Chains A and B, each alone.
Chain A
Amino acid sequence: MKGWRPSPPLLLLLPAVIVLAAVVVLPLLLSLYSSFTPFRLTKPETLWVFIGARNYVNILTNRDFWIAFARTVVLLTVALNLEMLIGLGLALLVEKASRGQRVLRTIMMFPMMFSPILVGFQFKFMFNDNIGLVNNALQALGLTDRAIPWLIDGNLAFIAILTAEIWSSTSVFAILILAGLLAMPREPVEAARVDGCTPWQTFRYVTWPFIMPFAFIAMTIRSLDVARAYDIVKIMTDGGPAGRTELVWTLVARTAYSDARMGLANAMAYFSILLSILFTVYFYRKLAAARTQIAAEW
């Protein structure tokens, strides 16, 4: 035997695998272990007590956790879909513009420059019921004479958080869908017009299928990155009041550091990771399907 030579792709992938193993997989194994212990930050010796699946049983039977979990799923679903719709609208508007593309695209990406904690503070002050910009504007315009408790009422708070989240993340969709629109061949659209299709029909049957993969790629990227919303929610409501806006992430963070119950928090975190994985895999599949379709048509 001549000795084994690693194949080129393996070599090329090696750096990525090493970095990810060191920074993600190894710590994750550590936290997986700790999720089977009653580990408390302030009592390091508890790391060596093994309690089996107690933490998991605790979580599975905890009603508050499941409510938070369900709310997170709803928030993600609504946010991602709305972001896609708005991103699509935005991309269409920008694409049609004949002048100032460069500036428009930069503005379109403007919210991506904002650190999520800043977005949190910003929207918290804007939605303040007493002196916030939103209520001030509504009252000045005579639309309401009440102070709307944006961050208090469960539904309104949900909307407020949704607004902040959508504002900060729609850019990702807009930019990707815009990329799709710009890459689209002109001929099919022209052909459709010649055939007498209405603009809506042209959009629905020609443009949309083409940009669908772009929308799904954005969905996939976003579902990978959703926990980013944690910083926003943490500052806007931190899950309150009375747990009305509690999400898995706020619950995990509070349990982990404030309560110092790391073991339990890590067990919860695994549920939230599972959630992101489900969302990601779902959209990734959709993406693959959409790609196949495009490949067949073009």
Chain B
Amino acid sequence: MTKLFCGLTAGVALLALGPSATFAADLPGKFDGVTIDAKLIGGQQYEGLYARIGEWEKLTGAKVNVISKKNHFELDKEIKSDIASGSINWCVGSNHSSFAPQYPDIYTDLNALLPKEEIGAFVPSTIKASTLDGKLVMLPRAQFDVSALYYQKSLYQDEAKKAAYEAKHGKELVPPDTWDEVAQQAEFFASPPDFYGTQFAGKEEAINGRFYEMLIAEGGEYLDKDGKPAFNSEAGVQALDWFVNLYKAKAVPAGTTNYLWDDLGQGFASGTVAINLDWPGWAGFFNDPKSSKVAGNVGVKVAPKGSAGIRTGWSGHHGFSVTENCASKEPAASLVWFLTNEDSQKLEAASGPLPTRTAVWDWDIQQAAGDPYKTEVLEAFQEQAKHAFAVPQTAEWIEISNAVYPELQAAILGDKTSKQALDDAAAKATQILEDAGKL
């Protein structure tokens, strides 16, 4: 541990104060001759930020050596392979809140390396989601993801539709605020095969995540406080029935159980879907006439509530971590800080993604002034961020997802009843947790 503080000029007296000895003013610091090996998430959306690495190098005198750049799923595979072959010999890595619980031990606690006030500048819920067993394993970058409701505005301005809806349901046709209303309206708008009420991601972690947030909104819990699977409850059945009934009513595209995010985004952009719960990354795409038929007609609002009065808000965010094996943790932490500091977050947020620093949120909304669509988007997502919650922090989350989603699909497609499917899924999940020695 003492080696960590060798580089500090703060003096012996400060050492006694314990871990958070660095001052914000000291960042980014001076680290001449140090080289940091980094594994970063690659791809267009994420790489703009890395132009700032050069600046950090200039400021600190250190060098960054990017040894890997891959899309997140490939990076996850690579990190697992590294763990397995004992080759975690790099310092800084991209991380994600949904993947992080799988490898809690390889990353070091950033609380010990960075000043408290810097960590306090982040949105508290994201810091909470980045903390595993009291260890802050990553610092969030401006790539925060939570879903809000996109809808086609014109549908709600159409007088004929309004009248028909009111006649049928005795309610005014306005953008929905509960999931029951979404279902009702989706069935009302749907006219297959040309037009659908809504759609949902249908496979892998995606459907499991959607089910998970619906379960919370219905007042259920995925794992109970002992860590046992508890999603086959009454709330679970209600949550799953929401998907099942829409599918039965043909209010969603028949292919929806095979959809991943790319299909969903393209679907809504094609103008054939009325209401779409989706990620912030699509906001620009949906309103760009070059990529979307519904450009100029997109409304965004906070995600609806379930019957328990809770809004859905499954969220995740990208960030950077420092490995436990890293020999020069101080410079590594400085780099992580630099890539997530205000200027970095502004750079990323300027092209669409959501920030994770409170100050940058305000800045972002200010920037959008005069652009009504962007303002609407940001306000909706800022409100949504308040209702955000991360996935259960268990190392087996992805594995459980993989066991549960085929069961969810089976229920949606009508192969099993919701209860049956959830019971089977819970049995599989229990088995996984038992195998892992968690139960």
A residues near B (Cβ < 8 Å) are 39, 41-42, 44, 47, 124-125, 128-131, 135, 139, 145-152, 157, 237-238, 240-243, 254, 257-262
Contact = CB atoms under 8 A, between A and B. Distances in A.
Contacts of B81: 41
Contacts of A150: 255
Contacts of B410: 242-243
Nearest to B400: A259
Contacts of A139: 193
B270 A241 contact: no
Interface SS, A side: loop
Contacts of B409: 240-243
Contact of A241 (B76, B77, B80, B202): B202
B16 to A, nearest CB: 37
B257 A130 contact: no
A135 B413 contact: no
Nearest to A44: B84
Contact of A147 (B84, B85, B192): B192
Interface string B373-401: 00000000000000000000001001100
B102 interface: yes
B196 interface: yes
Given A152-B255, A237-B258, A238-B203, A41 B402 contact: no
B402 A258 contact: yes
B267 to A, nearest CB: 5
Contact of A129 (B254, B266, B407): B254
Nearest to A127: B255
B406 interface: yes
A130 B193 contact: yes
Interface string B202-216: 111000000000000
Given A130-B272, A152-B254, A260-B102, A242 B413 contact: yes
Interface string B411-433: 01101000000000000000000
Given A42-B102, A260-B80, A242 B257 contact: yes
Interface in B24-42: none
Nearest to A129: B255
A193 B231 CA distance: 74
Pairs of residues from A and B, 5 with the lowest C-beta to C-beta distance, nearest first: A147-B193, A149-B254, A129-B255, A241-B257, A242-B409
Contact of B255 (A151, A260, A262): A151
B253 interface: yes
B79 to A, nearest CB: 9
A30 to B, nearest CB: 11
Interface residues of B, number: 39
A130 B253 contact: yes
Interface string B146-183: 00000000000000000000000000000000000000
Nearest to A150: B255
B350 to A, nearest CB: 29
A242 B406 contact: yes
25 contacts: A41-B80, A41-B84, A42-B102, A44-B83, A47-B84, A128-B266, A129-B193, A129-B253, A130-B196, A131-B266, A147-B193, A149-B255, A238-B203, A240-B204, A240-B257, A240-B258, A240-B406, A240-B409, A241-B203, A243-B406, A243-B409, A243-B410, A258-B398, A258-B399, A260-B399
Contact of B272 (A131, A145, A151): A131
Contacts of B415: 242
A101 B153 CA distance: 56
B204 to A, nearest CB: 7
Interface in B348-388: none
A128 B402 CA distance: 23
Contacts of B399: 258-261
A119 B202 CA distance: 21
B134 interface: no
Given A241-B202, A241-B257, A130 B406 contact: no
A241 B258 contact: yes
B86 interface: yes
A240 B405 CA distance: 9
Contacts of A47: 84
Nearest to B410: A242
Contacts of B76: 257
Contacts of A259: 398-399, 402
Contacts of B23: none
A131 B77 CA distance: 32
Nearest to B411: A242
Which of A242, A243, A261 is most buried by chain B, counting CB atoms within 10 A of its CB?
Answer: A242
Contacts of B102: 42, 260
B255 to A, nearest CB: 3
Nearest to B82: A41
A241 B253 CA distance: 14
Contact of B80 (A42, A124, A157): A42
B103 interface: yes
Contacts of B263: 124, 128
A130 B86 contact: no
B103 A130 contact: no
Given A125-B266, A131-B267, 14 more contacts: A44-B83, A44-B85, A47-B84, A128-B255, A128-B266, A129-B193, A135-B193, A147-B254, A150-B255, A151-B255, A241-B257, A242-B257, A243-B409, A261-B399
Contact of A145 (B84, B193, B196, B402): B193
Nearest to B250: A147
Nearest to B102: A42
Contacts of B270: 130-131
Nearest to A148: B254
Interface in B73-104: 76-77, 80-81, 83-86, 102-103
Contacts of B398: 258-259
A34 to B, nearest CB: 10
Nearest to B106: A42
Nearest to B202: A241
B395 A42 contact: yes
A6 to B, nearest CB: 36
